[in-house]
Amino acid sequence: MKRKIDGNQSLKLSKNIKIVDYGFGNLASVKNAINFSGFEASLVNNPNDLKKTSHLILPGVGSFEAGVEKLKKDGWIKKIHEFVNKGGYLLGICLGMQLLFKKGTNERSGFNVEGIGLLEGICEKFTDTNTHNLPLPHIGFNKVTYKNSNIWKGIPQNSFFYFVHSYRVINTKTNDYKISMTNYGDDFVSFIEHNKIYGAQFHPEKSHTCGLKLLKNFCNLK
């Protein structure tokens, strides 16, 4: 006797969700959050193992330069571009979001470093924080003001998400991208959406109900 599969179960079975394991992300927390949301996700450390992947998550904690160098060394840059060009859904988290842009910043020299290059913009350290008496890194829950799209479905406007970062993205093509904002002394880009590319400066896997809902919405995209 065949087991009957309802519509929601069939949709989840059709997803192939993978998390890039390149040594710079909070992988267990992201994977557990995806599983808690009712989906299955697997870690992938070989860029040649993206066949049939529908949704790819690039987490990240650490420096832009070290992160992008590891991605280059392991052959991820080309494969991520190919994945996006074939219509896959991509979500960058924290450093993973920053790496999606064209340029980052060397922490010591301040010189620009080439990123993955999927989005226009530069990742730079927060400025003028001393004027506002705000410490770096920016740590804790903060409010996100978003532009409506499917990934924000069911999440109240101005919800709070968890941040840990000292760098932010600037000079984005605001007319082409859907950009969400957060204020930490100055307004900065806390979420970005362009076609099937998404980036969260915050950590949805650490952001309780709203973060789990956002991850579930991402996995539901089709």
Of 205, 14, 177, residue with least CA distance to 100 = 177
Residue carrying the six token digits 């968890």: 162
Length of the chain, please? 222
In a domain, 1, yes or no: no
Identify any residues that bridge with 181 across adjacent strands, giving them in sequence order.
145, 189
In a domain, 2, yes or no: no
Q: How many domains does the chain have?
A: 1
User: From start to end of 126-213, where are the E strands?
Assistant: 138-144, 159-165, 167-170, 178-184, 186-194, 197-200
Q: Range of 20's domain?
A: 7-220
Q: What is the pLDDT of residue 81?
A: 98
Q: What is the pLDDT of residue 2?
A: 37
In a domain, 57, yes or no: yes
CATH number where 123 lies: 3.40.50.880
Q: What is the pLDDT of residue 39?
A: 97
Residues of the chain with pLDDT under 70: 1-13, 109-110, 128-131, 174
Q: What is the pLDDT of residue 3?
A: 36
* 82-117 b/e (C-beta count within 10 Å ≥ 16 → b): ebbeeebbbbbbbbbbbbbbbbbbeeeeeeebebbe
In a domain, 78, yes or no: yes
Q: Helices (DSSP H) in 44-170: which residue ranges? A: 64-73, 76-85, 95-99
Q: What is the pLDDT of residue 5?
A: 38
> Which residues are annotated as catalytic?
94, 203, 205
In a domain, 204, yes or no: yes
Q: What is the pLDDT of residue 128?
A: 56
Q: What is the pLDDT of residue 65?
A: 93
Q: What is the pLDDT of residue 129?
A: 53
Q: What is the pLDDT of residue 7?
A: 46
Q: What is the pLDDT of residue 10?
A: 46
